[in-house]
Amino acid sequence: MTRRPRLLLADDHPLFLEGVRRLLEAKYDVVGTVADGKALIAAAKELRPDIIVVDISMPEMNGLAAAQIIRKTLPSARFIVLSVHSDPAYAREAFRVGVRGFVSKRAAGAELLTAIKQVLEGRSYVTPLVSPETPGEARDPKRLTLRQLEILRLVAEGYQNKEIAQLLKISVKTVEFHKTRIMNELDIHTPAGLTRYAMDHGIAAA
């Protein structure tokens, strides 16, 4: 009997995570679910999955940072990002760190199944909701880092500098530094302007 591919799922929204698990377990062996980046690292080491489906924005450690660590000890694992973010910068950063698939949470479940199938076959997949081009060719003049994208999202969601620092476990001065860099890069110098930009580009939910 052919062994079913082993999947590990990571997302900090329990109801969404359960829905994804139910979607996939009929076809794949879902060996575990976790809700934060540090738990994902520990689970990957113990369970040794073939595919890891991961959100980007999670507590303790974001999904891409966890993926970079896991790839060093489990190079055979392949990553698929399942994210609410649609800005091409997220997909570009994900593929830069070795992710093989990028699927939008706004897409149908069939898209995730397609992505898993293609990644298992050694190909890559990126949702059409992000860009019709390949991630490496995505044309976006704004070059924000993943950390800056995280901070921009939190600013758009109404968090103050001190709250952002606590959530990301960095200093308030570091938050202020990144906000200044973001404003200069985007040439936007008001919180309201940053919020509009984040919503227009799928970085924060409208």
Domain ranges of the chain: 6-137, 146-200
Structure confidence at residue 200 as a pLDDT band (50, 70, 90): confident
What is the share, in percent, of the chain residues with pLDDT greater than 90? 43
Least confident of 31-40, 46-55, 146-155: 146-155
The architecture that CATH gives domain 146-200 is: Orthogonal Bundle (1.10)
What angle do helix axes 146-156 and 161-168 make, rounded to 10 degrees? Answer: 130
Tell me the backbone φ, ψ of residue 200, rounded to 5 degrees.
-65, -30
Is-contact 132 150, C-beta < 8 A? no
Categorize the per-residue pLDDT at 132 as very low, low, confident or very high, splitting at 50, 70 and 90: very low
- Spatial separation of the C-alpha atoms in residues 154 and 168, rounded to whole Å: 10
Most confident of the following: 16-25, 60-69, 123-132: 16-25
Question: Which top CATH class is 6-137?
Answer: alpha beta
Reported pTM: 0.69
